[in-house]
Each structure stands twice: as C-alpha cells, then as structure tokens.
Amino acid sequence: MTPSDTPIDAWRGDFGDDYVARNRATEETMGNAARAFTEILSHVKDNPPASILEVGANIGINLRALAGITNAELFAVEPNAHARERLVADEVVPPDRLFDAVATKLPLDDGAVDLVFTSGVLIHVPPEDLETAYGGIHRVAARYVLSLEYFSQTPVSIPYRGHEGLLFKRDFGGMWLDLFPEIEPVANGFFWRRTTGLDDLNWWLFRKP
Ligand SMILES: C[S@@+](CC[C@H](N)C(=O)[O-])C[C@H]1O[C@@H](n2cnc3c(N)ncnc32)[C@H](O)[C@@H]1O
C-alpha cells in the first residue's frame, strides 16, 4: 500500500489480497457465523428475508453460513478480485448475483434485495463517504438493513495493520436512525469474542416501514 492509495485501492490491491489469503472458511468460522445469523434472523422469523445481499463479502464466510440456515437467495458485492474468484469457484453465489462494486456505488435496483447487510465493512469506509454508503444500502434494501461493525460512542480512527486511515469506529446503529429516522429498530446485540469467536462485533437490525 502506498501513501497515495485510497482505502478502496488498498482493498483491491495487495493489502486486500493478503486479507483474502489469511481468511479461512473453516467449520469453526462458518459455525460461528451460522450461530450469529441464526440469532439475528430469529428476530424476523415471522417474516424472513427471501433474498440477502452482503456488501463487502470477501470469501463469503457469512454467506456460506447463511446458505446453511436459510433458503434466501444470496447476493454479494465485493471489490477484491481474488475474493470474487473464491466466491464463484466455491459456488457461494452464482456469477450473476456477484458484483464488482463498492458500498458507495451499488449496481442494484431500488429494493432489489430484502435484506442488505455489512459485516466489518462500514468500519473501512472513509467517514466522508459513509452517508453515501448508507444511502445506497438503504435504497437497495426492500425490507431490512443490518450492520455488524465495531462500536464507539465517539467516532475514532485507529491504526489497522500498521496503516492510518483504514479503520474507523463509531455508533453505526445510531447513524442509521440519524439518517433514516423512519426505520424501525428490530434488534441489536454484541457478539463477544470470548463466547462467539467473532470479532467483538456490535450488530443492529432495522426494518424499513
Ligand atoms: C474486514 S473484511 C470483512 C469481510 C466479510 N464481510 C466478513 O465479515 O467476513 C472487509 C471486506 O470489505 C471489502 N470492502 C472494503 N471497502 C469496501 C467498500 N467501500 N465497499 C464494499 N466492500 C468493501 C473488502 O474488500 C473486504 O472483503
């Protein structure tokens, strides 16, 4: 990563390739994700999403887990080419439901997918682009939006793998309500690393009225 790289250049380049190489879709990581999404989706079991889009899916640990616990049609947006190759090679999503794109420019129609979510992705969107990213996710989601991200009451930037400007924490749930006051909080929670194996992630699920 060079000093002139934007965060998206980094994720599309060697920095993102290294992440793909480190990432593992094992029984353990997929089991952790399956338990987490089972809990989240239990809050909408009377009206489950028929289609789900993950924005920033990487190699698809969450989507692989979702394939085991729902019948929803799965979609992915992912800017890193090696990650997309894995998603296709492992048949996590078919090529026509996989998009080379970013959260700030989603190439899907309004209301195209029932539930749109990010997991550890909004934390990597530069603060000046966040409102656009939220707007796109809200536009594409027909019924639900879900964020699993790192929480901080006050927005902070923290070094990530030795780089500045690549990781930001804030109240991502509160930002949904600030930008779209009409959406309804369905449930929220915290996946504590000690008991879930996940990365100390806060999550917020909202319904569009
Ligand atoms: C920390 S990984 C999380 C991967 C996956 N969501 C998970 O929970 O395992 C961040 C992913 O988001 C992608 N990404 C980074 N910036 C993005 C953006 N602005 N829009 C969409 N995806 C992005 C990266 O390429 C990477 O695959």
Instruction: Identify the pLDDT of residue 22.
Output: 96
* 9-to-2, 93, 162 alpha-carbon distances in Å: 9, 24, 16
Residue 114 Cβ contacting ligand 1 at under 6 Å: no
Q: What is the mean pLDDT of residues 23-37?
A: 97
- Let me know if residue 149 belongs to a domain: yes
**Which percentage of the chain shows pLDDT scores above 70?**
98
Cβ(16)–Cβ(7) below 8 Å:
no
Q: Whose CA is nearest to atom 22 of ligand 1?
A: 56
Q: How far is the CA of 16 from the centre of ligand 1 (A)?
A: 9
Instruction: Identify the pLDDT of residue 164.
Output: 87
The pick from 53, 121, 132, 149 for probing ligand 1's pocket by mutation, whose C-beta has the most ligand atoms within 8 angstroms, reads: 121
- Give per-residue pLDDT as tens, 140-197: 999 999 999 999 999 999 998 888 889 999 999 999 999 999 999 999 999 999 999 9
Q: Could you tell me the sign of the dihedral formed by the alpha carbons of 47, 64, 122, 120, in that order?
A: positive
- Let me know if residue 185 belongs to a domain: yes
The pick from 6, 8, 11, 75 for probing ligand 1's pocket by mutation, whose C-beta has the most ligand atoms within 8 angstroms, reads: 11
- Let me know if residue 29 belongs to a domain: yes
78: domain range? 7-207
- Let me know if residue 201 belongs to a domain: yes
The amino acid occupying position 202 is N
Instruction: Identify the pLDDT of residue 120.
Output: 98
Q: How far is the CA of 123 from the centre of ligand 1 (A)?
A: 9
Q: How far is the CA of 178 from the centre of ligand 1 (A)?
A: 23
The structural domain count of the chain equals 1
Residue 29 Cβ contacting ligand 1 at under 6 Å: no
Residue 173 Cβ contacting ligand 1 at under 6 Å: no
- Give per-residue pLDDT as tens, 108-152: 999 999 999 999 999 999 999 999 999 999 999 999 999 999 999
Instruction: Identify the pLDDT of residue 9.
Output: 93
Q: How far is the CA of 60 from the centre of ligand 1 (A)?
A: 10
Q: How far is the CA of 141 from the centre of ligand 1 (A)?
A: 18
What is the 3-state secondary structure of the chain? CCCCCCHHHHHHCHHHHHHHHHCCCCHHHHHHHHHHHHHHHHCCCCCCCCEEEEECCCCCHHHHHHHHHCCCEEEEECCCHHHHHHHHHCCCCCHHHEECCECCECCCCCCCEEEEEEECCHHHCCHHHHHHHHHHHHHHEEEEEEEEECECCCCEECCECCECCCCEEECHHHHHHHHCCCCEEEEEEEECHHHHCCCCEEEEEEECC
Q: Tokens 């779209």 map to which residue? A: 180
- Let me know if residue 1 belongs to a domain: no
- Let me know if residue 2 belongs to a domain: no
The pick from 19, 32, 58 for probing ligand 1's pocket by mutation, whose C-beta has the most ligand atoms within 8 angstroms, reads: 58
- Let me know if residue 54 belongs to a domain: yes
CATH code, domain with 196: 3.40.50.150
Q: Whose CA is nearest to atom 3 of ligand 1?
A: 120
- Let me know if residue 31 belongs to a domain: yes
Q: Tokens 């019948």 map to which residue? A: 71
**Sequence-separated (6 or more) residues with CB below 8 Å from residue 144:** 44, 49, 114, 115, 116, 186, 205, 206, 207, 208
